[in-house]
Amino acid sequence: GAGVSQSPSNKVTEKGKDVELRCDPISGHTALYWYRQRLGQGLEFLIYFQGNSAPDKSGLPSDRFSAERTGESVSTLTIQRTQQEDSAVYLCASSVQGNRGKLFFGSGTQLSVL
């Protein structure tokens, strides 16, 4: 596709349920990132993939959060047993290996935990 695609764009779930958020990076982009942005706040780094390995997962807030990536393609961020504090926009970005400072972001998934 022309840009980074995220789905769903909006997700409403009940506390305690599991959710999966999907990111399709730009074709050929080997690096993929997940960020979280709570309402009115800045971006919080969650995890970084290079190919299908995750050399930096230091931002994952708890063991309820996990992510995987298939090759240099789709990534899924999974949140288990969601809590109200998980409500936020989850942003995915990708970049080419040689220029990890130039990120292309998707429009995000707005997650609301009731």
Residues lying near another protein in the complex (CB under 8 A) are found at 4, 31, 33, 35, 42-43, 45, 48, 50, 55-56, 59, 91, 93, 98-108
SS3 86: helix
Q: How far apart are CA 32 and CA 39, in angstroms?
A: 23
Minimal distance, residue 11 CB to another protein, in Å: 16
SS3 57: coil
Minimal distance, residue 72 CB to another protein, in Å: 15
Nearer to another protein, 31 or 113 (CB): 31
- Six-digit token pair at 9? 């764009």
